[in-house]
Amino acid sequence: MKEVKEKARYRYELADNLLFDYEAVEKHLEKMAAKGWRIDKINTNLWKYRKAKPAKVKYAVTYAPDASVFDPHPTMNQQTLADFCAQAGWVKVGDWSQAQVFVNERENPVPIETDEEIRLEVIKKSMKKSWIPANVMLILLMVFNAWRTISRFVKDPVQDLSSYWGLLTLTFMIVATALVSANLIGYFIWFKKSEKSVAAGGTCTSPRIIRLINRWSLPAAVIYFVAIIMAAAGEGAPGAAMYMILYMAGFLLMVTILSKTKEYLKSRGVSRGKNIAVFVVLDIIMAFAMVSALTAFVLSGPGLTADKDPYEPTVKGTFLAERTYGELADPEIGYEITEIKADWLYDWCFDKKLNEKLGSMQMKHESLENPHIWGADAIYECWIHNRDYTYKWILVKDKYIVEIWGDDEIAENAVKGGGILDKLGI
Amino acid sequence: MPREKFQTLTEQMFYILLCLRKECCGMDIMEEVGRITDGRVSVGPGTLYNLLEQFLRAGMIRETKVEGRKKSYIMTQKGAVALREECERIQRQTADYWRLVRGED
């Protein structure tokens, strides 16, 4: 749990426990109580502690599969469970989703769960209720986004390889998808291991690895996000950095509004079904509003990348690749010089440049004979539909790949006239 | 390999059913189990709550009285059969034990 605020009497923590990891919650709450902090209020995202006399007390987490975060009051089953627990000295201190948290001041209380097989069954039932479906949805969303990012990368790898912004975004999407998937996979592994252990007469196992991964996911995501914004701003795209900051702010605002609305409706005794309906409708409306606002920002704002004199070459590079691009006034052409610094990536990147795809259309090319006449190791003429209309020229010299485009005649003269590579400093 | 549900009873299942041979309030079962086993067996409230739910669904017990959230139960014929079969199984185990251990002596 990440501590975010401390006051004299209260203390808040961001809740980052896995719903099925009852052991971590119990240990953490006991540790906090020993330090003089008792859990006061449990919300889905934020846990509130109040100052108290340090004490050695027992905490226990059990599960009520029929409970929901949208219930205005505890269900009959939750209440009956709490009554049973009260009989053994366990006092309910809060719940989140299906997890029910109890405290016991007695010295050696009877544990709430004395049958590990039943415990595991109830956890399985509870996880099926909302945690697994929510995680599956999240994974699908992440996989879709990662797939889009990877597709863009595979289509034009140099773009991302030559930019820390691109590289960080690409790896972030992959790492984030892997981390979100790890939670669900971690649960199934934990469940299988626990099932085996319980069948052999043991207890449920500790999900140590997934607990550790989960604990570091949020700080890692925050660091990554800040790094991406800094990279975007540093690579001449302050608009994109601002876009990402606004996107994250909008997302956090949405989460806060949804959470507050849900809590308000609960306090007004609105039923679970109506609360869920309001939550979903509000979520959709806000998502549309946010996308519209961000689109308006992109269209009317400063643009994602800063305006620059086109005749001033733009250089972007990482330890893997470097790109220099811009326009020349004489001859009037556009150019891009790519240097692949990682040798093992050269063939793949070059192949992607030579076999570029524009939408569904495949670029064709033919190499020119005797390229040395024009000072290059190889020259390719590239076109889309008709060879009469050249799309671009690709010249290879040493470790550089130079692309040249412009008016057909001017570009051809620039290539075949010789001296263009010298002019570009190669 | 998890065992078939209620094909054999755990010690806690056994004593809960034993308590319910006569009508008993759910919450009193914890104390009753402790009493009849001299504290040797204790049933946790969460385990008890879930086992009662499962016994109800399996038709091994039935609700007799509901006073607010306080519910009372009694064992059904099906529950009684399961309890007796478990008892006979334990008896057979005990008999096997003594036969073999005495034989060795």
* 3-state DSSP assignment of residue A261: helix
**How many domains does chain A divide into?**
4
In the block, residue with structure tokens 């995202």: A45
Q: Would B1 be classed as within a structural domain? A: no
User: Do A302 and A339 belong together in one domain?
Assistant: no
Contacts of A298 (CB under 8 A, 6+ apart): A239, A243, A304
| CA dist list (Å): A57 to A17, A26, A43, A244 | 20, 10, 21, 45
Query: CA neighbours within 13 Å on the CB side: how many for A134?
Result: 9
The rounded distance, in Å, linking the Cα atoms of A302 and A283 is: 29
Sheet of strand B70-75: strand arrangement:
B24-25, B70-75, B61-67
Tens digits of pLDDT across chain A (426 residues): 555 555 569 999 988 889 999 999 999 999 999 999 999 999 877 899 999 999 999 999 999 999 999 999 999 899 999 999 999 999 999 999 999 999 999 988 999 999 999 999 999 999 999 999 999 999 999 999 999 999 999 999 999 999 999 999 999 999 999 999 999 999 999 999 999 999 999 999 999 999 999 999 989 999 999 999 999 988 878 888 888 899 999 999 999 999 999 999 999 999 999 999 999 999 999 999 999 988 888 787 666 666 677 788 989 999 999 999 999 988 899 999 999 999 999 999 999 999 988 878 889 999 988 888 888 999 999 998 877 788 899 999 988 999 999 998 888 888 888 788 888 888
User: Do A189 and A286 belong together in one domain?
Assistant: no
Residue A173: domain span: 115-227
Chain A residues closer than 8 Å to B40 by CB? none
In the block, residue with structure tokens 């008890």: B48
**How many domains does chain B divide into?**
1
Q: Would B3 be classed as within a structural domain? A: no
Determine which of B69, B71, B73 to mutate to test the interface with A (most A C-beta atoms within 10 Å). Answer: B69
Q: Are A115 and B1 inside 8 Å of each other by CB?
A: no
User: Do A350 and A408 belong together in one domain?
Assistant: yes
Last residue of a domain, one of A287, A307, A327: A307
The rounded distance, in Å, linking the Cα atoms of A289 and A114 is: 50
User: Do A318 and A300 belong together in one domain?
Assistant: no
The minimum CA-CA distance between B105 and chain A, rounded to whole Å, is 31
Helical residues (DSSP H) of A35-163, grouped into ranges:
76-87, 116-126, 132-155, 157-161
Chain B residues closer than 8 Å to A83 by CB? 27, 69-70
B residues 56-85 lying closer than 8 A (beta carbon) to A: 69-71
Whichever domain contains B44, its CATH number is 1.10.10.10
Write down the pLDDT at residue A412. Answer: 87
The minimum CA-CA distance between B70 and chain A, rounded to whole Å, is 8
Determine which of A78, A90, A103, A118 to mutate to test the interface with B (most B C-beta atoms within 10 Å). Answer: A118
Residue in chain A lying closest to B44 (CA) = A112
Q: Would B5 be classed as within a structural domain? A: no
The rounded distance, in Å, linking the Cα atoms of A330 and A387 is: 25
Q: Would B6 be classed as within a structural domain? A: no
Q: Which of B10, B45, B71 sits opposite A88 (nearest CB)?
A: B45
User: Do A93 and A139 belong together in one domain?
Assistant: no
**Are the beta carbons of A402 and A335 closer than 8 angstroms?**
yes
Last residue of a domain, one of A104, A137, A155: A104
Q: Identity (one letter) of the amino acid at A53?
A: K
Q: Are B47 and A115 inside 8 Å of each other by CB?
A: yes
Q: Would B49 be classed as within a structural domain? A: yes
Q: Would A195 be classed as within a structural domain? A: yes
pLDDT above 80 (res B5): no
Stated as kind and residue range, the H or E segment containing B15 is helix B11-19
Residue in chain B lying closest to A61 (CA) = B46
The rounded distance, in Å, linking the Cα atoms of A78 and A100 is: 8
Q: Which of A112, A121, A122 sits opposite B45 (nearest CB)?
A: A112
The rounded distance, in Å, linking the Cα atoms of A388 and A334 is: 19
The rounded distance, in Å, linking the Cα atoms of A283 and A293 is: 15
Q: Are A81 and B48 inside 8 Å of each other by CB?
A: no
Write down the pLDDT at residue A307. Answer: 66
Q: Identity (one letter) of the amino acid at A294?
A: L
Q: Would A243 be classed as within a structural domain? A: yes
Interior angle at CA A229, CA A248 and CA A160, nearest 5: 115
Q: Would A213 be classed as within a structural domain? A: yes
**Are the beta carbons of A117 and B6 closer than 8 angstroms?**
no
**Are the beta carbons of A112 and B44 closer than 8 angstroms?**
yes
Q: Which of A76, A87, A118 sits opposite B27 (nearest CB)?
A: A87
In the block, residue with structure tokens 């950095």: A241
Q: Would A110 be classed as within a structural domain? A: no
Chain B residues closer than 8 Å to A114 by CB? 12, 42-44, 47
Q: Which of A76, A122, A198 sits opposite B69 (nearest CB)?
A: A76
Residue in chain A lying closest to B53 (CA) = A77
Residue B65: domain span: 11-104
Chain A residues closer than 8 Å to B27 by CB? 83-84, 87
Last residue of a domain, one of A307, A323, A339: A307
Q: Which of A84, A112, A114 sits opposite B12 (nearest CB)?
A: A114
User: Do A221 and A319 belong together in one domain?
Assistant: no
How many CB atoms neighbour CB A281 within 10 A? 10
Q: Which of B1, B12, B26 sits opposite A84 (nearest CB)?
A: B26
